[in-house]
Structure 1
Amino acid sequence: MGKKVKDITWYALSFAMAAALLYYSFRNVDWHDFISAVASCRWGYVAVSMVLGIVVFYLRALRWRGYLLPIDPTTSRLTCFNAVNIGYLANIVFSRVGELVRCGYIVSNSAREPDGTRKASFDKVAGTVLGDRIWDMLSMGAVILLSLPLMGDRLSELFEKVNINMPWLIAGLAGLVAIVVLAAWLLKDKSSAAGKVWGFLRGIGDGLKSSVMMDSWWRFVVYTVLIQVLYVLTSACIIEAVDGILPGFETMGLTDALFLMVVGSLSTLIPVPGGLGAYHSAITLALSAIYGIPVETGIVWATLSHESQLLVQILCGGISFIHESVREKE
């Protein structure tokens, strides 16, 4: 099977999965009640959540720039911000493509060496993206561990409901990565394909090294903490937007916002474009299983939360794309 056929098959399956999850989430919705609930929400809080989403994008760009500066000191804040925005825009259409788009954008805007090559190679930039994602996972893990005294019962009950053994899942993924790395190292001199994989992995290693070469570690930590705090506040804003309008949300506070943020983050493990369907089904399941909120009610909150941030991604990505197009013409 050729690469093009594989890509088409992968994206077709991804879109099909998103469609199936969306159908599952919305299958019993009374559209008159749904539209009425959405129209009645406090849109000021939704607007605040969208502004917070934009701030998160900028903080992500600043944090990522810390990885990139050891590779190319000329990398600007605006370049990183545009790369993050355009990457999110690409992910709405094709799952996981955004990371590749981010890398390509940084490389194309990187300064040139005396021999004409770019200071930032694709594999090194890919390493910084991987490093950024790894820190996302670690910070999310830290958030979960630190908040277990507050929401441990909720998470345990949710995992039991969906029959997920997280330790086995994590161990399986770690084992798969270890096998790929070991096979590439053992076969790098015997197989051209393994050699290319090993070369790419070395490039990723160089990119990861840049994460420990940052001059200001305190900034990196501050950005990471702020990102997680703003994610919680974003969820809290949507809770406030439906408080008194949707039954079951009037008693929720920051702990519940934290729990819903964690559930939403875990839904990104499902490879669907823009999180469509995956986020909606995960949130409605959590609201139903833990709070007893009917799916028909929970889907309103999930839609407000997801689609408001989706709109932010479209607006920011579109503006950055237009800015880049105008800059290239100049």
Structure 2
Amino acid sequence: MNDKLKQIAKYILFMAVGAGLFYLAFRNTEFEKLANDFRKADYTYVILSIIMGYLAFISRGMRWVLLLEPLGKKPNTWNAIHSVTVGYFANMLVPRAGELARCTALYQTDDIPVNRLFGTVILERVIDFLMLLFLVLLTLILEFDLLMELIDTAFSATQGTGDSNTGLYIKIAIGGVIIIGGITLYLLREKFMLHPVYQKVRDFWDGIKEGLKSISQLKSKTPFILHTIFIWLMYYLMVYICVFSLDATKDLSPSSGLLVMIAAGFGMVVPTPGGIGAYHYLVMLGLGVLGVASDDGVSFATLVHTGQLVMTVITGTIAAGFLWRARRRKKLAASN
């Protein structure tokens, strides 16, 4: 199978995963109620969520400029911001396409080699992974029982069947697989170390170590740290502030909002176009363990996701126009 066919097959798989999760989220939804919830929603909070989402884009672009400093590169800040925005726009269409799109866009405006740009994007992934891990640990401290219930619900194959023992059976089965797998890997460790999967895991771990080392070499460490905190604060607030837009969610506490943000974060990690399906399903489950009915959870997830989708489309389109103008100016300058 050639690379093009592999990409097509991968995209079809991502679409299928998104469609399956979309079905799971909306299978019991009364669309008349969903429309009524949208009519009654307080869009002041949705607008604030949209603003916070774009502020995260801006901060991420500014942080990217800081990451490029150790490489001796200084791109135009707004070009970097617009490239990040175009990257998010591309991810809506093709999962994981955004990384290449943003690197290509900045290369075309600022002549920074794509391979060097891509290295900084990999570093960003590592940072995002560590931040998400930190927030999961924080949620474990603040909402341990609820997070465990969310994990149980997400992995349960028997929602609505009434079989209370199946979750236990699944845990036992997973534990058995882990133990047997661990013993097998130990006995066959020399062969496994030559396997491509092991190489990918090792490369990922090496990337984490290299990324942390690169951060220590930053010239502007404090602004970088502040941008990282600000980005994730915006991610949290753009989800939590929307709880006040619906009557069914307005009484959720800030720590409960953190649980919902974790569910939303994992929903966006699942490689479906724009997080569609995965976001709705996991946010619905997250709200479910907080006592919010599934149809209200779907209404909330759809409201937040649609707001961010609209923001990404609008800002991505505008950013593409600015980048086109920047490329045109560069060509005109080169021809003179």
Using the TM superposition, give the Cα deviation of residue 219 of structure 1 relative to its aligned residue in structure 2, in angstroms.
1.0
Using the TM superposition, give the Cα deviation of residue 94 of structure 1 relative to its aligned residue in structure 2, in angstroms.
0.2
C-alpha separation in 1, matches of 2:154 and 2:197 = 31
| Corresponding residue SS for 2:252 | coil
What is the CA RMSD across the aligned residues, in angstroms? 3.0
- Of the three residues 225, 228, 232, the one matched with 1:224 is 228
Aligned to 1:36: 36
Task: Describe the shift of the 1:27–1:180 C-alpha distance in structure 2 as closer, same or farther (beyond 3 A).
Answer: same
Aligned to 2:218: 214
C-alpha separation in 2, matches of 1:202 and 1:100 = 21
C-alpha separation in 2, matches of 1:35 and 1:41 = 10
Describe the superposition over 1:119-167 as per-residue Cα deviations: whole angstroms up to 9, x where unpaired.
x332221111010011011112122223432112211121122339899
Aligned to 1:314: 313
- Runs of at least 4 residues off by over 6 Å: 164-168, 175-178, 201-208
Q: Partner amino acid for 2:128?
A: D
Q: Partner amino acid for 2:129?
A: M
Q: Partner amino acid for 1:151?
A: E
Matching of residue 298 in structure 1 with residue 294 in structure 2: no
Tell me, yes or no, if the aligned pair for 1:52 and 1:234 is still in contact at 8 Å: yes
Describe the superposition over 1:85-107 as per-residue Cα deviations: whole angstroms up to 9, x where unpaired.
00000000000000111121222
Matches within 5 A, 1:1-330: 1-111=1-111, 120-163=112-155, 180=196, 210-242=214-246, 244=247, 246=248, 249-288=249-288, 290-330=289-329
What 5-or-longer segments of structure 1 have no aligned partner?
A: 112-119, 185-197
Tell me, yes or no, if the aligned pair for 1:49 and 1:238 is still in contact at 8 Å: yes
Q: Partner amino acid for 1:309?
A: Q
Task: Describe the shift of the 1:291–1:204 C-alpha distance in structure 2 as closer, same or farther (beyond 3 A).
Answer: closer
C-alpha separation in 1, matches of 2:138 and 2:212 = 26
Tell me, yes or no, if the aligned pair for 2:270 and 2:278 is still in contact at 8 Å: yes
Q: Partner amino acid for 1:230?
A: M
What 5-or-longer segments of structure 2 have no aligned partner?
A: 157-170, 183-188, 330-336
Using the TM superposition, give the Cα deviation of residue 209 of structure 1 relative to its aligned residue in structure 2, in angstroms.
5.8
Task: Describe the shift of the 1:205–1:179 C-alpha distance in structure 2 as closer, same or farther (beyond 3 A).
Answer: farther
Percent identical among aligned pairs is 28
Using the TM superposition, give the Cα deviation of residue 24 of structure 1 relative to its aligned residue in structure 2, in angstroms.
2.1
Q: Partner amino acid for 1:283?
A: V
Provide TM-score, normalisation by structure 1.
0.81
Using the TM superposition, give the Cα deviation of residue 71 of structure 1 relative to its aligned residue in structure 2, in angstroms.
2.1
Describe the superposition over 1:240-268 as per-residue Cα deviations: whole angstroms up to 9, x where unpaired.
111x3x3xx24212111111111111122
Task: Describe the shift of the 1:324–1:208 C-alpha distance in structure 2 as closer, same or farther (beyond 3 A).
Answer: farther
Provide TM-score, normalisation by structure 2.
0.80
Task: Describe the shift of the 1:183–1:38 C-alpha distance in structure 2 as closer, same or farther (beyond 3 A).
Answer: closer
C-alpha separation in 1, matches of 2:301 and 2:223 = 32
Aligned length: 298
